Amino acid sequence: MLRTVWFEHRAFGVVLSCLASLPCGLVVACSGQTRSQGSGGDDLAGGTCNVVPKSVSGLTRIHIDECSPITYPDNPPTGGNHYPVWAAYQTFSFAVPRGFWVHNLEHGAVVYTYNCADGCPGEVADVQALIDALPIDEGCVADEPRRVVLTPDPLLDVRWGVSAWGHTLRADCVDDERFRQFYLNHFGQGPEVVCAEGSDFNGVPPCQ
């Protein structure tokens, strides 16, 4: 049977995003992607939503078995070990396990997460509108031209979290200014330059 998959190949210090048709021969199309990234500026604290930024370093980047347990020291995660598959750059109605979207962080994504008893549909709509208005990421070859994931996260111990590799925000509500500035500071700044499409899990929550 022919299976088409995205995978990563490291060569000469460059991460290539490859589309392969396997196993009937090996048909591979690879693209080294243009570096498109945020400013690296400082994140804004405070505001009416009590936004708390955090930055860390020394994160590990080991691939572990898909759906195996992972514990992250920060909530939301700033990065670390993760699954070999990453999530599609889109909004999910179900919770994507952290091991998938931490891989997105490695690729330079910004991930917006929330944990609300009522699902906070109004706030989710506000964040979706914010995402839709973000600048196009010129380094992307994915269907969605921004390295952004929006997903509920039942492990989050605050209402909203925003993550990039090595950086997070925690917030009690949606702060448009600070959430947008976080993206502008950090998108495309992961340790791997990849913006190829990940998995949408066929619309079914993974690891159940």
Q: In this predicted model, what pLDDT tens digit does every residue of 55-93 receive, in sequence order?
A: 999 999 999 999 999 999 999 999 999 999 999 999 999
| Core vs surface per residue 131-156: b (16+ CB within 10 A) or e | beebeebebbebebbbbbbbbbbeeb
Residue 194: pLDDT over 80: yes
Q: Rounded to whole angstroms, how far apart are CA atoms 166 and 158? A: 19
In terms of phi and psi (left: phi > 0; alpha: psi -120 to 50; beta: otherwise), the region of 121 is alpha
Residues in the chain, total? 208
Q: Rounded to whole angstroms, how far apart are CA atoms 95 and 182? A: 22
Residue 3: pLDDT over 80: no
User: Considering only CA atoms, which of 109, 112, 110 is closest in space to residue 127?
Assistant: 112
Kindly report, residue by residue over 134-176, the tens digit of the pLDDT.
999 988 887 888 999 999 999 999 999 999 999 999 999 999 9
Mean pLDDT of 23-35: 38
When mean pLDDT is compared across 30-34, 107-111, 143-147, 171-175, the lowest value belongs to 30-34
- Do residues 205 and 94 lie in contact, with contact meaning Cβ atoms separated by under 8 Å? yes
* Cα separations in angstroms, 33 against 96, 111, 147, 180: 26, 21, 13, 24
Confidence of residue 31 (pLDDT cuts 50, 70, 90): very low
